[in-house]
Amino acid sequence: MAGAWAVQRLTGNSGWIDTIWAALTGLGGLSVIVFSEAGNPARKWLAGILVGLWALRLAGHIATRSAGKKDDPRYAALIEEWGDRAGPRLLWFLQIQAFAAFVLALSIYGAILNPAPFPGVLDGLALVVALIAIAGEGTADWQLSQFKRKSPEGKTVCDIGLWGYSRHPNYFFEWTWWCAWPLLALAGFQSFLPFVLSLLAPLMMYWLLNHVSGIPYLEQHMERSRGEAFKAYQKRVNAFFPWFPDGKKSTSSAL
């Protein structure tokens, strides 16, 4: 991730950080699949296709978004908070992201170690979960981009489509995608260790998205920039897990 740090320092656009991270995480996942001699070859093909779809969609989406704006509000808040030490602290922060990518690749490795016959019921379930997650995250990203382009005058918070059931449906479906890997590891379960490795991804992603670099910083930015409209939205709509909005509470314009 030192390369991502250099790109950010040269361009002043921190959006490229996540573009590079998604691409490198995808490459890491594909590498462990290709170079591992263990596991069922057909299951490894399925895993490789899923990783490729995920990485291409996510990196492509973030790259398109980053090309049209100056900065990512989450990183911008961190850089402002760090002040004169922003350069070295951002470099260190991105090495933590590199470690996270390593853990995710380790989870993919755990999932493909399963030598059981393919396909099985859990293989099919893992495929369904992964495809729903990719489609759901893509839909949420598209709905938000459409809102930003065509939002009614005076409406500052997107509560259309999936955003009416979760304040961060893109994060929810990103986490859901990583939940497919324990299912793949369980297909014909023969060893405890691979399953434990596969669990690392959804556990870590839930923690990061909900408590570290995802929702906390983004919601702080939204509270500052959208004010009461976003606070009303917070009261009505769940932060992460989708659920029906609370119609009894304020229905002010809500992201």
Per-residue pLDDT of 71-112, as tens digits, reads 777 788 788 888 888 888 889 888 989 999 999 999 999 999
Question: Is residue 152 assigned to a domain?
Answer: yes
User: Is residue 158 classed as helix, strand or coil in its secondary structure?
Assistant: coil
**Among 114-128, 141-155, 167-181, which is the least confidently predicted range?**
141-155
Residue 128 has pLDDT above 70, yes or no: yes
- The number of folded domains in the chain is 1
- How much is the average pLDDT of 202-212? 95
253 in a domain, yes or no? no
pLDDT value at residue 72: 77
Asked if residue 77 belongs to a domain, the reply is: yes
Provide the domain limits for residue 153.
Answer: 2-236
Which residue reads 């990061």 in tokens? 208
pTM metric for this prediction: 0.89
Structural domain contains residue 184:
yes
Q: Which of 36-40, 152-156, 184-188, 200-204 has the lowest mean pLDDT?
A: 152-156
The pLDDT of residue 255 is 39
Backbone angles phi, psi at 187, to 5 degrees: -65, 105
Supply the DSSP symbol for 244.
Answer: -
Confidence of residue 54 (pLDDT cuts 50, 70, 90): very high
- Indicate if the pLDDT at residue 20 is higher than 80: yes
Structural domain includes residue 145? yes
- Report the pLDDT value the prediction gives residue 247, as an integer from 0 to 100: 66
The predicted pLDDT at position 84 comes to 85
Q: For 107-111, 116-120, 121-125, 199-203, which range has the lowest pLDDT when averaged over its residues?
A: 116-120
Token match 């893109």: residue?
170
Residue 172 · residue 241 · CB < 8 Å: yes
Is residue 241 within 8 A of residue 168, CB to CB? The reply is no
- Are 198 and 184 in contact by the 8 Å Cβ rule? The answer is yes
Residue 246 lies in a domain: no
Is residue 252 in a domain?
no
pLDDT at position 12 is 79
Position with higher pLDDT, 225 vs 72: 225
pLDDT at 251 over 60: no
